[in-house]
């Protein structure tokens, strides 16, 4: 594919790859596409080094492989030593920091997955492992939830996070997107972009570029003072993210980003790209002027992987920007783990080769609230983003942490002194919950402005509801004395719909697995569908992920029309209006009720309180909440949205509760929204409990096997 080549400038030379090229053996194991078998897939043979093959790469005058001209200014050791610089020494295949040879050993931490309360603890543990840098994405949607309304305070204060890393002596590799993937809702892109229904994300689409341009104009000026050259810790900045894996190969888009990054950060900022070890991915993801790096997992053939980087960067440092220390989970699948031995083995060989490495993740953290992403075929990720990383979701030191620290200290100086210990955990025990209200009974609190009326269903975006839940209501057009199929086209419900008729739960429609449900009721009865957004797709060609009823529903052969649509503000109701939940719902709901089928009941809120024990030092402490006998739902503590629980699917059985959301002066309030079935709905009130324990629980474990 043709690419625009920049003309040479005085003092710059161009190189090309010599005749000795290595083919990548076997299919790529890309960052977000795990093999269907669940086994980690390697590129080629095990990671034994073939130094002779790597040394056969030659550099001369001309073009790089693929017709891609790479030009650079020669940088010599000691040059610019009196000022802060971070550059590439192409002649000696390395980075130079302040004119001196430099290699980074880095780990990923996402500030948006770790509460600000714990940023320093996690960063210090990373430093004590021997890391000299950390890597973080910037999640656009975390900062601009509504168009033009920016949040850079509290847990959103990315500037403070970067400054804190700087104070601890850590450099920063910044990955500001605008797309980040990261198993984060819509890959970090704000959902309101979809208000332009035909928008082509991650492309030169004018509507998309206008939004990106505005966002970068807000974010990047905040980052400029934090660049290394300006006294800060940011040494390199990634442009986009694994762009070669996307459906388009839009170099105009990459050039647009490149120009905007230079406009805001300066012409001398070191920009890079990251793609999987596959020539097609690199061909679309790399661009002249952006340093091309790769990502791959333990067990990968290092010679093949880095020779592929060499095909696009004939000289310069070897860089693995995402070396996977673990893997992500999906609801309904086994918890993913990768052995410490496999990770340590490949890390050793990369460091022995002189490569720069970022470990993804060094700490995974938590998808609080509704922030998790999803893959296609539709598989949402759970609340935990533990990732089997060296530091656990709760920031605890693991066996993998010490195994990697042992490897790192063979190649770099590891700081002396004690490592901050794992934070103490406390099992507060069982807490009884009482039934509060069904969602239908609480509509006047959850949607005080009343419904939006439409002949046909509207999506979440149409009603400006970007996360959470929307209730869709219509009337049965005819008697359904016999079970009558309520049907959605394939993928017509995004993502789960909890169906009831006149207050009687009927069952659940689910995006790709349950598209027909038999219901009964009389003509004129109220049909309600509470639709849950389970997380937007974050990777691949389906990131334009509209939520809600995205197609018409049929009852028998008739299309259902005349809908009332209730966008539900769960957060405001839970935080501000619990004391007003005593009355009924103000008339939206037909109050005639019958008994529900035993498997499903109406989505219902439960509430309870617990007090931190007195007389015990150092409380409150972190804890984990589990849901014995509960099915699926959402949980808040003191108004803080911990996220989703789904123990009947697993693998995550407990949710992490950081201590800073707990209080000692007053009782702590727990609100649970159970969507399907609570244990006390069987008529045994004492079973309606949740329990706080001092360890996380994953239901099953699957170990990936890596070649050694």
Name the catalytic one among 144, 183, 240, 242: 242
Strand, helix or coil at 538? Answer: coil
Q: Is the backbone of residue 554 left (phi > 0), alpha (psi -120 to 50) or beta?
A: beta
Is 322 known to be catalytic?
yes
Which of 243, 270, 494 lies closest to 374 in space, CA to CA? 494
Where do we find the tokens 């609801």? 331
Q: Give the end-to-end CA distance of the chain in Å, rounded to a whole number.
A: 37
Edge-to-edge order in the sheet of strand 452-454: 452-454, 563-568, 469-475, 526-532, 496-501, 504-510
- Listing DSSP states for 413-434 in one string gives PPPPSPPPPPPPB---EEEE-E
Is 510 known to be catalytic?
no
Is residue 516 exposed (0-12), middle (13-18) or buried (19+ Cβ within 10 Å)?
A: exposed
Structure tokens at 343: 């990770």
Q: Spell out the SS3 assignment of 618-665.
A: CCCCEEEEECCCCCCEEEEECCEEEEEECCCCCCECEEEECHHHCCCC
**8-state DSSP, 396:** -
Is residue 243 exposed (0-12), middle (13-18) or buried (19+ Cβ within 10 Å)?
A: buried
Where do we find the tokens 């550099």? 59
Name the catalytic one among 322, 393, 564, 674: 322
3-state percent helix, strand, coil for the chain, nearest multiple of 5: 25, 30, 50
Structure tokens at 91: 């002649």
Largest CA distance in the chain: 86
Structure tokens at 50: 């073939």
How far apart are alpha carbons 276 and 297 in whole angstroms?
10
Active site residues: 242, 322
């Amino acid at each position: 594919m043709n690419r625009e080549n920049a003309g040479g400038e005085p003092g710059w030379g161009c190189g090309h790859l010599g005749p000795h090229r290595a083919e990548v053996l076997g299919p790529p194991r890309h960052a977000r596409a795990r093999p269907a078998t669940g086994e980690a897939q390697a590129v080629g043979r095990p990671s034994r080094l073939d130094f002779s093959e790597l040394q056969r790469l030659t550099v001369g005058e001309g073009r790089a492989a693929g017709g891609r001209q790479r030009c650079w200014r020669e940088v010599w050791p000691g040059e610019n030593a009196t000022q802060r610089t971070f550059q590439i020494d192409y002649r000696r295949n390395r980075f130079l920091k302040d004119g001196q040879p430099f290699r980074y050993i880095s780990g990923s931490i996402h500030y948006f997955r770790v509460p600000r309360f714990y940023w320093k603890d996690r960063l210090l543990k990373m430093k004590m492992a021997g890391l000299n840098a950390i890597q973080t994405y910037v999640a656009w949607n975390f900062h601009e939830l509504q168009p033009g309304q920016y949040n850079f305070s509290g847990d959103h204060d990315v500037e403070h996070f970067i400054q804190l890393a700087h104070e601890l002596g850590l450099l920063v590799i910044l990955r500001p997107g605008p797309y980040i993937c990261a198993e984060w809702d819509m890959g970090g892109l704000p959902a309101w972009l979809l208000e332009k229904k035909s928008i082509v994300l991650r492309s030169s689409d004018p509507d998309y570029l206008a939004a990106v341009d505005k966002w970068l104009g807000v974010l990047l000026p905040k980052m400029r003072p934090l660049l290394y050259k300006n006294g800060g810790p940011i040494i390199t900045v990634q442009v986009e993210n694994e762009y070669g894996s996307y459906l388009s190969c839009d170099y105009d888009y990459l050039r647009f980003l490149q120009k905007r990054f230079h406009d805001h950060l300066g012409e001398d900022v070191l920009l890079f790209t990251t793609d999987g070890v596959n020539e097609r991915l690199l061909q679309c993801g790399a661009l002249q002027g952006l340093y091309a790096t790769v990502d791959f997992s333990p067990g990968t053939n290092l010679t093949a992987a880095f020779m592929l980087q060499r095909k696009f960067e004939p000289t310069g440092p070897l860089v693995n920007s995402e070396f996977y220390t673990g893997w992500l989970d999906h609801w309904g699948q086994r918890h993913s783990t990768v052995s410490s031995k496999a990770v340590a083995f490949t890390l050793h060989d990369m460091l022995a080769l002189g490569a720069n490495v970022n470990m993804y993740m060094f700490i995974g953290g938590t998808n609080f609230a509704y922030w998790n992403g999803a893959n296609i075929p539709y598989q949402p990720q759970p609340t935990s983003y533990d990732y089997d990383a060296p530091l656990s979701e709760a920031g605890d030191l693991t066996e993998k942490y010490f195994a990697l620290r042992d490897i790192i200290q063979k190649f770099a100086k590891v700081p002396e002194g004690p490592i901050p210990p794992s934070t103490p955990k406390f099992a507060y025990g069982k807490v009884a919950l009482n039934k509060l209200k069904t969602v239908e009974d609480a509509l006047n609190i959850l949607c005080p402005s009343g419904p939006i009326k439409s002949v046909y269903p509207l999506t979440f975006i149409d009603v400006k509801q970007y996360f959470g839940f929307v209730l869709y209501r219509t009337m049965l057009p005819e008697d359904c004395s016999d079970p009558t199929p309520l049907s959605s086209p394939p993928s017509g419900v995004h993502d789960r719909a909890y169906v009831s008729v006149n207050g009687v739960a009927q069952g659940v429609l689910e995006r790709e697995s349950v598209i027909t449900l038999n219901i009964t009721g009389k003509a004129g009865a109220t049909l309600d569908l509470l639709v849950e957004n389970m997380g937007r797709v974050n990777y691949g060609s389906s990131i334009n992920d509209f939520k809600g009823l995205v197609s018409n529903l049929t009852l028998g052969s008739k299309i259902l029309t005349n809908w009332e649509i209730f966008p539900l503000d769960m957060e405001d109701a839970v935080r501000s209006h619990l004391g007003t939940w005593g009355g009924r719902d103000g008339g939206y709901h037909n109050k005639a009720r019958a008994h529900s089928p035993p498997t499903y009941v109406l989505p219902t809120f439960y509430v309870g309180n617990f007090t931190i024990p007195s007389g015990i030092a150092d409380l409150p402490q972190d804890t984990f909440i589990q849901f014995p006998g509960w099915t699926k739902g959402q949980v808040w503590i003191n108004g803080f949205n911990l996220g989703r629980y789904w123990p009947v699917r697993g693998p995550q059985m407990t949710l992490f509760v950081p201590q800073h959301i707990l209080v000692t002066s007053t009782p702590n309030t727990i609100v649970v929204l159970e969507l399907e079935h609570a244990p006390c709905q069987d008529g045994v009130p004492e079973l309606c409990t949740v329990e706080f324990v001092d360890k996380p629980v994953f239901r099953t474990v699957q170990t990936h096997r890596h070649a050694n």
